[in-house]
Amino acid sequence: MVFGHNSNLKLGNVTFHVQTEDRGEVHALLDTTVYYRGRVLHRRTNNYFDLLPLNEDREQALKLRLEEQHRTVMEEIRSGVLDLPIPADPPPLQAATPSTSHITVPDPLQLTLVNAKGWLVGKRANLHVRVQLPSGAGADGAAVTAEFKGSDSDHVFRAQTNEQGDAFLEFDLPRITGADPALVIRAERNGAQGHVRFALKAKPRVPSV
């Protein structure tokens, strides 16, 4: 059984996203990653070879160990024991004047909702979005937005991809009120854009294209 935790930790004006995952018995690793605006600031990995093979009692011990690792990293961030360098915000993009003789349209970005089968738990959305260039390489520094069409809120949720092209968005699901509700995810990087749309059922569990 695979376990995991995702938490947002706000200190002043800075919000960190802390994610702890069990990589499964094949790897037997507990991996904690700290993100800031989609960028990886810290990673901590510990193995649990001593608990293999897993049984009911050892699964419970594994769950407690994962929770303890997640809680320890959160506490180290709060107390300042874990000193995380905050990356400077990238300079604002300046719009270049297009040439009237030749305009180059960037190739579209490719978007994937990595956790498409498990992004919604109760009323809490936790999106893991991967943005790739046409070559298949991760698109780092891409601006990612998510919004719900047909909801009672027009709020747009935002994040930025890390070096691997991954972005994480976590928020409460708005109340769905309209017909044909949908989750729309967009990405933009250096003029290149891409989007993906998931139609939602009346009681959304798994998005369908």
pLDDT, tens digit, 9 for 90 and up, residues 81-134: 998 888 776 666 555 555 444 445 567 899 999 998 888 887 888 999 999 998
- The residue assigned the tokens 């990356």 is 87
Mean pLDDT over 61-70 rounds to: 95
Return the amino acid letter for 160.
Answer: Q
Helices (H), ranges, the chain: 56-79
Q: Is residue 87 part of a domain?
A: no
Task: Report how far residue 177's alpha carbon sits from residue 202's, in angstroms, rounded to the nearest whole number.
Answer: 10
The total number of structural domains in the chain stands at 2
Q: Is residue 101 part of a domain?
A: no
Q: Is residue 84 part of a domain?
A: no
Residue 175 has pLDDT above 90, yes or no: no
pLDDT of residue 129: 93
Say what the pTM is: 0.48
Q: Is residue 89 part of a domain?
A: no
Range of the domain at 165: 110-199
Mean pLDDT over 29-48 rounds to: 92
CB neighbourhood size of 160 (10 A) = 21
Q: Is residue 194 part of a domain?
A: yes
